[in-house]
């Protein structure tokens, strides 16, 4: 990590560089994301020729109005939602891992998505509805913003509690357990509120908790896109403080960095990113935990400006790929998105644990 004997150059030395061109790697990721974006639009219960999809995506008209509506109103919004979800969760996971200096930190692990679920549940139940995919889809533009605000506040509440405890508990394993307990507590509160709901409503709620991007369309897609763009803007603004925080808070303070302001900036970005995704798509696991490690392994850098950009594209790639597989080619059934993200994320977590065991620092 950092040699304290070279304090003057410590922030720069904290940013390790790889041998390969960042621009070349990022260009390759963009191409892969675009290819998966088109493939995601082609997959579905209704077969649509690729030439028709390319025409509609390119703004050209085709003979069938029904096919045009399927592409424009269902598949393109779902693919865009996959891109937004992947970028938001991957970036928020990267912020959490650096803020807590913990390679296993992530929005779902620290209970942040559970806090967002609690916020959504409180708002929906206050309006006499259960937080289900269909109920959220039927909310108006104002309702969508209210849900996002509630989810972000729920995320912030859990994150602030975990952050306050982390000031006293330095052990990473203990901090992870605290995060898991915070998540369990919020889930139990939601379960208590659902106790009086009908079995059909509970079943619909469980489908929302499995994670889905198919319910985001129209006005809610604009809301999700706006909030994710704002959150990513804050994340990019925090890239320099994140680089300095890698070398420790005490040393960061000696360099003139306001650790308090940096934390607020990182927390605000994380809550907007993870909260907005959870509000419309339900709690989606492993993306925020696994993708940052994939980017570090690919780029061999700890420069957060580059890592955030790469994580956004890599996260989009992973979610698009998972969404394609969940559509079960040849079948009209859909697998829950969390099934595939777990299949991708669990091996990465095992790899991270094995890697950390042999290194003093995972960053």
pLDDT of residue 283: 86
Indicate left, alpha or beta for 352 from its phi (over 0: left) and psi (-120 to 50: alpha). Answer: alpha
pLDDT of residue 319: 94
Distance (Å, rounded) from C-alpha 345 to C-alpha 349? 6
Least confident of 33-37, 127-131, 276-280, 305-309: 127-131
pLDDT of residue 356: 63
Instruction: For residue 100, give every residue at least 6 positions away whose Cβ sits within 8 Å of its Cβ, in sequence order, or none.
Output: 110, 166, 172, 175
Please give the torsion angle defined by the CA atoms of residues 304, 308, 314 and 319, in that order, rounded to the nearest 10 degrees. 140
Asked if residue 13 has pLDDT above 70, the reply is no
Q: Which residue in this structure is represented by tokens 């269909």?
A: 134
Q: Which of 116, 88, 73 is nearest to 227 (CA)?
A: 88
Average pLDDT of the residues in 203-232: 83
Least confident of 115-124, 187-196, 209-218, 326-335: 326-335
What is the maximum span of the chain, computed from C-alpha positions, in angstroms?
70
CA contacts within 13 A on the Cβ side of 186: 30
pLDDT of residue 316: 96
**pTM attached to this predicted model:** 0.84
């Amino acid at each position: 990590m950092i040699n304290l004997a070279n304090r003057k150059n410590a922030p720069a030395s904290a940013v390790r560089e790889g041998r390969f061109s960042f621009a070349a790697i990022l260009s390759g990721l963009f191409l892969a994301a675009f290819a998966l974006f088109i493939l995601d639009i082609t997959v579905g219960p209704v077969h649509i020729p690729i030439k028709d999809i390319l025409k509609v995506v390119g703004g050209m008209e085709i003979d069938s109005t029904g096919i045009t509506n399927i592409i424009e109103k269902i598949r393109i919004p779902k693919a865009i939602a996959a891109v937004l979800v992947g970028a938001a969760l991957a970036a928020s996971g990267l912020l959490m891992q650096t803020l807590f200096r913990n390679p296993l930190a992530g929005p779902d692990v620290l209970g942040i998505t559970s806090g967002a679920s609690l916020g959504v549940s409180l708002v929906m139940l206050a309006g006499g509805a259960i937080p289900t995919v269909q109920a959220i889809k039927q909310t108006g533009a104002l309702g969508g913003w209210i849900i996002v605000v509630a989810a972000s506040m729920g995320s912030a509440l859990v994150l602030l509690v975990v952050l306050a405890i982390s000031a006293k508990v330095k052990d990473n394993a203990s901090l992870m357990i605290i995060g898991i307990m915070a998540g369990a507590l919020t889930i139990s509160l939601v379960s208590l509120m659902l106790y009086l709901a009908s079995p059909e409503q509970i079943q619909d709620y469980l489908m929302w908790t499995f994670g889905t991007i198919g319910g985001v369309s129209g006005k809610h897609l604009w809301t999700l896109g706006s909030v994710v763009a704002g959150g990513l803007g804050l994340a990019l603004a925090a890239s320099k403080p994140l680089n300095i925080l890698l070398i420790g808070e005490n040393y960061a303070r000696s360099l003139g960095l306001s650790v308090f302001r940096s934390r607020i900036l990182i927390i605000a970005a994380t809550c907007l990113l993870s909260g907005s995704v959870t509000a419309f798509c339900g709690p989606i696991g492993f993306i925020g935990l696994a993708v940052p490690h994939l980017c570090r392994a690919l780029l061999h850098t700890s420069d957060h400006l580059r890592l955030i950009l790469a994580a956004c594209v890599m996260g989009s790639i992973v979610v698009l790929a998972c969404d394609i597989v969940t559509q079960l080619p040849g079948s009209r059934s859909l697998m829950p998105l969390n099934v595939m993200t777990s299949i991708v994320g669990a091996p990465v977590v095992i790899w991270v644990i094995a890697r950390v065991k042999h290194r003093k620092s995972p960053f």
